[in-house]
Amino acid sequence: MRRSFVTADVFTTTKGGGNPLAVVLDCADLTDAQMQMITREFNLSETAFVLPPKTPDQTAFVRIFTPTGELPFAGHPVVGTAVILANRHKTNSGTSPTRMVLEVPLGNVQIQVADNPGGAISATCVVPKLPVMKSPSPNVGQVAAALSLSTSDIDATRRPIQTWDAGFPVLFAALRSRDSVSRARVELSKWFSTDEFGWPVSVYPYAATGQGRFYARMFAPMDGVLEDAATGGAVAAFAGHLHACDELREGIHEAIIEQGVDMGRPSQIKLEIEIAQGRLESVRIGGTAVEFMAGSFDV
């Protein structure tokens, strides 16, 4: 059967920036094995597959695969798929949707869609699962060795190394400077044992750059992604880390995370954290996406 697909660059307004994503449309009859094979063929960090919604009041059911397996939720595929579906709706009806609901294995994702100057469309989604802390986490020495850094590059005093999960586990390591983040290199021989920690450890080294802005990278070699250009699911989990370490006050807090710069694919992810009665009430991530190419294949 002939399958249509669209690729988009997510968390950017510029083609060739952000995190590339492939979205395959009309996938109701595809098997898990076929989706995994197609994902490996695209050879991107993630590929999204659009299926009919399980309930009629939702927009679509979306499955997300990495080269090694399926994810229950990931930010850049959800944002990118929402923008692509919004573009299709606009082309077919002449109007832009303002809201949609995408079902993913983790749950329903409420999404707000908006047009932006220059033609880019932005999507902001409510994360379906609030981040939870996992333990244990690798120590400072282990993280430094795995990233080919010195222990002095890691600033674990105010923000200790922690692992949080908003769909998949991510280890957060605060580094002392943007330069420290840029110097990080994966040392696979010193990477963390899945047997020891119970899950494939993905590492998100970051540095605070002032006024609610952070500079970050994402390494997930055990998931077949040596480095990711923009990771919405990690940023969703980052909300738990920030709240735990910074003791955020009541209300809504906003942050901008720069990622992908060291890969030549600069990205910006917007994070909104809502605190109520001292607890994490809601997490929203968002950004823009631009379509890059479209085509079809037979499977």
Which member of 46, 103, 227, 258 is catalytic? 46
Active site residue 272: no
Q: What are phi and psi of 94, to 5 degrees?
A: 85, 0
Instruction: State the Cα–Cα distance between residues 296 and 83, nearest whole angstrom.
Output: 19
**Single-letter code of the amino acid located at 119:** G
User: How far is residue 81's CA from residue 25's CA, in Å, rounded to a whole number?
Assistant: 10
Q: 165 has which bridge partners?
A: 132, 169
| Phi, psi dihedrals of residue 44, rounded to the nearest 5° | -105, 170
Nearest to 97 by CA among 63, 122, 61: 122
Q: Which residue has the tokens 């906003």?
A: 254
Tokens of 67: 């080269």
Active-site annotation, residues: 46
